[in-house]
Amino acid sequence: MPLYKELVEKYAVQYIAGGATQNTIRVAQWMHGGAGFSAYSGCIGKDEFGVQLKAAAEADGVTTYYDEVSDVPTGTCAVLVHDKERSLVANLSAAEKYSKARHFDSAPFQAVVKGAKIIYSAGFFLTHASETMVACGKQAAESGSVYAMNLSAPFLCQFFKEQMHAVLPYADFVFGNESEAAAFAEANGFGAISVEETARRIAALPKINAARPRVVIITQGSDSTVVVEGDKPAVVVPVSKMEGEKIVDTNGAGDAFVGGFLAYYAKGQSLEAAAKAGHWAAGHIIQRSGCTFDRTTRYEA
C-alpha cells in the first residue's frame, strides 16, 4: 500500500478507468458504436473513485449496473510502466465483494442478464465469485445466448483449477494468451504441446450447450492468433507488425483484443474478421497510456 502514496507524491499520475472486464466492455462499445450496445457490472465502493469509475464508463457509452458497498473502497491498481513494459500492483478491495444474492439475483439485474445476447467475464472473478460465472453460463445455455470467459492469468489456471472447470462447461468462447495456454496445459496434464493443440483440447472439453461448438482464441502478442472452433481446422490470423517506437504501454492490449473481437462478432462477422478487429483494437490501445482510445478513430473492416 505505501507504493500508492509514493506514486502520487513523486510521479505524474494518470487516473484511468480500468478493470479487465470493464476495459473489454468499454472497447467493445467503442468498436461497435451502437447506442445501448453494452452494459457492465462489478462491485465498487461508495467513494470518489467509484464515482469516477462510473462516470468514465458511462462517458464511453457503457451502461453501468454496479453492486455498491460502503465498508471497503473501490478497487485500484497501480500501473508502473518502464521501457514500455508494465507491472501491475492491485488493491482489489471492493472488486472482491460482488454478491450474487444481493446483486446478480435481484430482479432489475436479472432483466439485464436475460436480455443480453453475449455475456463476458474475465477469469479474475473465479477467485471470489465463480458461482456468479456459473449462473451466467447457465442463463446463456438456457436462452441460447453466448457465454464467453477469459483464462486471464496463469495463476488462475494453476490455483483456481476447480473453479475454472466448474465454469468451462458453459463457455461458448474461451480467450487467453500463450502463457495462460501453457499454464492451462501444464495444470491439466496435457504435457508440452503447442498453442494450437492446447486450444484444440480446450475446445474439446465437455460442454453443456452442444448446439454451439466451443471457440477458443489464443493470442500470442505480436505473433499470430490461433482460433479453434470445435473440431474444425485451426484458423491462424497474422498480426500486423508495429514499429517499436510507436508502442507506449502494453497495458490493456489483451482486454482490448477481446473487446474488438466481441464487437465484430456481435455485428455478425466471421471469427477471422472478428480476430482482425481485435488486433486493430489492441494495436490502437498500445500506442496510448492505459486502456484508452481516441473516440474519433474508427476501424474499417
C-alpha cell read off for 273: 474478421
Helix axes 107-115, 130-143, angle to 10 degrees: 50
Which ranges constitute the DSSP H helices of the chain? 2-10, 20-32, 48-59, 107-115, 130-143, 154-159, 161-167, 178-187, 195-203, 253-266, 271-285
Terminal-to-terminal C-alpha distance of the chain: 44
State the catalytic residue, choosing from 60, 172, 249, 255. Answer: 255
**Which residue is listed with cell 436462452?**
143
How many residues make up the chain in this entry? 301
Active-site annotation holds for 255: yes
> Does residue 257 contact residue 24 with C-beta atoms inside 8 Å?
no
Give the residue numbers marked as catalytic. 255
